[in-house]
């Protein structure tokens, strides 16, 4: 057994791991059963710090794909705690994402106390303590993260672990998300006649930031009359680890659907928080975009007095801010899909601080001049997997109602995040149809 190593970079103790122990003994706890029986993974591992590490299964993660492990190995650090960048974007035990994972996969919650022990007593003492922790006190047989009883003597292990004895299988549905390339190609599941006939003006530079052009695509209905000015729907994307998100299947298909409904649509790239932009930077990009479209409205045949903002996910608070801050008269309505209602939750999610987060949050703007806020439609993904997003959205909805705002709320009980591309079912179609009706009601074609 000498080639096994139970130490890790992040502070998880591999000696309690369901997968290593199943590999050694053939005894599988429910977690190992999930990986082998449902995910089809080979249960083979010698520990995080060895070269034989659990690879997971095709569409799921696994320790071999762990970004923390990869980072630590690349930097050559003994453990995250000894890294000068700790806590970093890859691993910060205090972020909402980590807390979410600790809740769904409670064996990971031991990392927090393990780090404390390593800091106070040193890694060797910690490893000795852990070796004792993960043995049945009655018969000294090893047990694992999600074993309920000792495999040898049957002792109830429930009280020996510092966390609840189950994991939430829904977390694996999150891991099962298609890879970013697949996701980028996915189109809105709803189709409209004429959407293949729309005309598109691509890659218009609306702003330059740090030497890079920020680009915009405009979608126009088929057979647009030359002197007719079209109401405009501006699409505000969320956080995404891909450049050029306006070219994703999601936005190219939605641009076509909106144009086929008789409006102009603007899909554009803005800077994102996860690549280091501040809240103010993103707000400024959207302001620049709107100013550009208003300045050039005549050239593009856009009615600059009839604009709707349709925002998504972490783009929602930015779209809502642009529509609500100072209540510009040209904003006729707003749509927000599965979005955050405040910036503070997003900052917590990324483990960062932003002094303006609260001040800029749309939930704060609701009470400032509620009678001037344009009608809004909010769609809620009932099965949203993004940590804290439903809480943030529900707080926004509650505050909107308390302030007696004109708000239409559509809940999608089986909808996951990005349900318009992920869930091809009647409720998705209904919500998109209702959104298009809402736009038609509040945007008047001249
Ligand atoms: Zn035992």
Reported as a single tens digit per residue, the pLDDT across 73-86 is 999 999 999 999 88
Q: Is the preceding peptide bond at 367 cis, omega within 30 degrees of 0?
A: no
> How far is the CA of 275 from the CAs of 240, 242, 348, 438, in angstroms?
9, 10, 16, 34
Instruction: Write down all domains in the chain, each with its CATH number in brackets.
Output: 14-175 (no CATH), 180-442 (3.40.50.1820)
Stretch 245-249: mean pLDDT, rounded?
96
Stretch 278-284: mean pLDDT, rounded?
95
The three-point CA angle 425-427-432 to 5° equals 100
Tokens at 203, concatenated: 């890659």
Distance 153 CA to ligand 1 centre (A): 4
> What pLDDT, on the 0 to 100 scale, is given for residue 204?
98
If you ran DSSP here, which 8-state letter would residue 78 be given?
Answer: S
Distance 127 CA to ligand 1 centre (A): 21
Nearest of 121, 103, 107 to residue 10 by alpha carbon: 107
pLDDT (tens digit, 9 = 90+) per residue, 153-188? 999 998 888 887 788 887 776 666 667 788 899 999
Predicted TM-score (pTM) above 0.85: no
Q: Which of 34-48, 175-189, 327-341, 386-400 has the lowest mean pLDDT?
A: 175-189
d(CA 255, CA 264): 8
Distance 137 CA to ligand 1 centre (A): 7
Sort 31 into a burial class: Cβ within 10 Å, 0-12 / 13-18 / 19+. buried
pLDDT (tens digit, 9 = 90+) per residue, 175-228? 666 677 888 999 999 999 999 999 999 999 999 998 999 999 999 999 888 788
Distance 190 CA to ligand 1 centre (A): 56
Distance 154 CA to ligand 1 centre (A): 6
Stretch 369-398: mean pLDDT, rounded?
94
Distance 31 CA to ligand 1 centre (A): 19
Helices (H), 249-382: 249-260, 279-295, 297-300, 316-324, 344-350, 357-360, 362-365
Distance 149 CA to ligand 1 centre (A): 8
Given a cut of 50, whether residue 1 has pLDDT beyond it is no
Distance 141 CA to ligand 1 centre (A): 5
Distance 28 CA to ligand 1 centre (A): 16
d(CA 391, CA 382): 11
320: confidence class by pLDDT, cuts 50, 70, 90: very high
Backbone phi and psi for residue 360, each to the nearest 5 degrees, phi listed first: -85, -10
Distance 155 CA to ligand 1 centre (A): 5
Distance 145 CA to ligand 1 centre (A): 15
Q: Which of 58-72, 164-178, 238-252 has the highest mean pLDDT?
A: 238-252
Distance 164 CA to ligand 1 centre (A): 20
Distance 129 CA to ligand 1 centre (A): 18
Distance 156 CA to ligand 1 centre (A): 9
Distance 37 CA to ligand 1 centre (A): 26
Mean pLDDT of the chain: 92
If you ran DSSP here, which 8-state letter would residue 178 be given?
Answer: P
d(CA 216, CA 351): 30
Q: Which of 271-285, 291-305, 311-325 has the lowest mean pLDDT?
A: 271-285
Backbone phi and psi for residue 236, each to the nearest 5 degrees, phi listed first: -105, 115
Sign of CA dihedral 133, 139, 141, 144: negative
> What pLDDT, on the 0 to 100 scale, is given for residue 387?
85
Torsion angle, alpha carbons of 157, 161, 164, 169, to 10: -90
Question: 297 with 303: CB under 8 angstroms?
Answer: yes
Distance 295 CA to ligand 1 centre (A): 75
């Amino acid at each position: 057994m000498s080639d096994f190593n139970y130490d890790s970079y992040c502070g998880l103790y591999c000696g309690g791991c369901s997968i290593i122990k199943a590999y050694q003994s053939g005894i599988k706890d429910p977690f190992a059963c999930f990986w082998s029986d449902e995910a089809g993974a080979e249960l083979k591992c010698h520990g995080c710090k060895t070269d034989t590490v659990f690879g997971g299964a095709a569409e799921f993660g696994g320790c071999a794909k762990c970004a923390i492990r990869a980072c630590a190995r690349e930097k050559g650090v003994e453990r995250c705690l000894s890294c000068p960048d700790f806590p970093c974007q890859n691993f910060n035990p205090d972020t909402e994402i980590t807390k979410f994972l600790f809740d769904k996969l409670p064996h990971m919650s031991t990392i927090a106390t393990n780090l404390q022990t390593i800091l106070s007593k040193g890694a060797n003492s910690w490893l000795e303590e852990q070796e004792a922790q993960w043995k049945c006190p009655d018969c000294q047989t090893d047990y694992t993260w999600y074993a309920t009883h000792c495999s040898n003597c049957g002792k109830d292990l429930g009280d020996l672990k510092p966390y609840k004895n189950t994991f939430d299988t829904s977390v694996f549905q999150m891991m099962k998300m298609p890879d970013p390339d697949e996701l980028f190609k996915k189109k809105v599941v709803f189709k409209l006649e004429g959407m293949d006939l729309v005309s598109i003006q691509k890659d218009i530079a609306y702003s330059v930031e740090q030497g890079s052009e920020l680009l915009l695509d405009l979608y126009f209905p088929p057979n647009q009359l030359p002197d007719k000015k079209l109401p405009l729907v501006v699409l505000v994307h969320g956080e995404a680890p891909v450049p050029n998100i306006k070219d994703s299947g999601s936005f190219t298909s939605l641009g076509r659907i909106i144009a086929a409904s008789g409006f102009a649509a603007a899909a554009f790239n803005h800077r994102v928080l996860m690549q280091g932009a501040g809240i103010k930077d993103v707000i400024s990009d959207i302001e620049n975009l709107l100013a550009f479209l208003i300045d050039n409205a005549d050239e593009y045949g856009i009615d600059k007095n009839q604009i709707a903002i349709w925002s998504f996910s972490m783009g929602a608070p930015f779209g809502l801010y642009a529509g609500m801050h100072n209540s510009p008269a040209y904003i006729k309505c707003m749509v927000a899909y599965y979005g955050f209602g405040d910036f503070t939750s997003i900052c917590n999610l990324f483990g960062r601080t932003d002094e303006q987060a609260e001040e800029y949050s749309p939930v704060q703007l609701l009470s400032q001049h509620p009678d001037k806020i344009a009608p809004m439609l909010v769609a809620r993904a009932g099965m949203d997997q993004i940590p804290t997003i439903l809480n943030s959205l529900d707080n926004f909805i509650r505050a909107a109602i308390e302030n007696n705002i004109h708000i239409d709320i559509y809940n999608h009980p089986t909808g996951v995040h990005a349900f318009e591309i992920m869930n091809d079912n009647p409720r998705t179609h209904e919500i998109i149809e209702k959104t298009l009706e809402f736009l038609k009601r509040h945007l008047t074609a001249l």
